[in-house]
Amino acid sequence: MSGFEKNGSSDVAYQLEGLDPREKAERIAASFVPPTPEEERKVIQKLDRRLLPLVFVLYSLAVLDRSNLGNARLAGLTKSIDLSGNRYGLEAVPGSHVGLPTCILAVVVFFLLPDGITSARFLTERDKQIALHFVARNQRLDVGKQQGLRFREMLEGFKDPKSWIPGFCYFGCNVSYASLPLFVPTIISEMGKWSPAQSNGLSAPPYLLCFFYIITVCWLSDRFKMRGPFCALSATIGAIGFIILATATKTGARYFALFMAVQIFASVALLLAWTANIHATESKRAGGYVVLATIGQCGPLLGTNVFPDSEKPYFRKGMWISAAFCLLVAVLSLMLSTWLIFENRKMAREGVPEVEEYEDTSIARETGVHERHRYIW
């Protein structure tokens, strides 16, 4: 049964049998009743209520597993268990049980989190139609709700240079992003004579500001359909913060700089969304995310090793390296935005029509070309 049937009627599905792809797409588009703004709002709220809590808790636990080490280190973890040299990286298997709650939740989420709109059991057929309707504004959809990974498209995502630039941006973010949760409490403790509890408490306000900043920037990014400029802005703010941390010696100035440095987190959020916007199909997007994660997750290998104890109390080397990579993120983001703007204008000059909602994708898949996709830059 087609997902675009009017009011869920099976008559439309019966009428589509035996039609060629183009005529099938036309019939489906004609049978669909566009949603009202109120209907669309209710579906979005339903998706938010079911998906966001799961993703929020899962990601929070994943981050907590990492960031807690910074607080525990300040409280004497390394001395208590003689955690020095390579012992954390090579001999920490017996202590890996601390990540067990995250692993258990991952199994639960596997069963509760749907693979996509069409497999979401909490949505009615009409809800699925509406959800696919607003998703189709920015990506190509299969009219028959076909699912599954297409390896040729995934390879296209691997080979597309537009997948690699976000990957290097993510790498740059992670050089700074990965080190902050681990070393912010230690950096604060070196600013004054505070107890471990006070240092841990003082590390919270910068992240609280960052929370509201991320929500604001992501909302503006969606509102104006722009990713690169906001990603570059956040990375530049982070770079300024790291530069101040590398040059200032006054406690007030350094603490203020932390509020700026943590804004690099916003670039991470924007890059995750931007990668999805760049690619026209789910399979190609999957390839893009593989490139993003593979390159990006190499960043912590550098970021967590540029704050040695020998650099106390200012950790200037780590600050300068983090600032440099923040600026790299800003430059690459603007370069990618410029490229995508050029591609959109080129398609407009050549008269290439924009992707239509519910259009059939078989022809594009046979040729390997998705020429109608417009980029969010």
8 Å CB contact between 173 and 332: no
The residue among 230, 228, 261 whose CA lies nearest residue 244 is 261
DSSP class of residue 252 equals: H
List the chain pLDDT tens, one digit each, 377 residues: 334 444 444 444 445 455 554 554 555 556 677 888 898 899 999 999 999 898 888 888 877 766 666 556 555 665 666 655 555 555 555 556 667 788 888 888 888 888 778 788 888 888 888 887 777 665 655 444 455 677 888 888 888 899 999 999 999 999 987 777 767 777 777 666 677 777 778 888 998 999 999 999 999 999 998 999 999 999 999 999 999 999 998 888 988 999 999 999 999 999 999 998 888 777 888 899 999 999 998 988 888 788 777 887 788 898 999 999 999 999 999 999 999 999 999 988 888 776 655 444 444 444 444 556 788 99
| pLDDT of the residue at 12 | 44
Domain assignments of the chain as residue spans, ordered by start: 150-352+371-377
Classify burial at 377, counting beta carbons within 10 Å of its beta carbon; exposed 0-12, middle 13-18, buried 19 or more: buried
Q: Provide DSSP, 28-72.
A: HHHH--PPPHHHHHHHHHHHHHHHHHHHHHHHHHHHHHHHHHHHH
**70: Cβ contacts below 8 Å, ≥ 6 apart:** 181, 182, 183, 184, 185, 186, 203
Q: Does an H or E element contain 318, and which?
A: helix 316-349
Residue that has been written with the tokens 């995310």 in this structure: 289
- Strand ranges (E), the chain: none
Radius of gyration in angstroms for the set of CA atoms belonging to the chain, rounded to a whole number = 24
Report the C-alpha gap between 273 and 221 in whole angstroms: 10
H-helix or E-strand containing 168? helix 161-177
pLDDT of residue 249: 86
C-alpha 139/C-alpha 100 separation (Å) is 37
Question: What pLDDT is attached to residue 366?
Answer: 46
Other beta carbons within 10 Å of 161: 8
**Peptide bond connecting 313 to the previous residue in cis, omega within 30 degrees of 0:** yes
The DSSP code sequence of 116-147 is SGGG-TTS-HHHHHHHHHHHTTTS---TT---
Question: What pLDDT does 372 receive?
Answer: 62
Class of domain 150-352+371-377: mainly alpha
Backbone φ and ψ for 250, nearest 5 degrees, come out as -75, 140
Residues 6+ apart with CB under 8 A from 172: 235, 299, 325, 326, 328, 329, 332
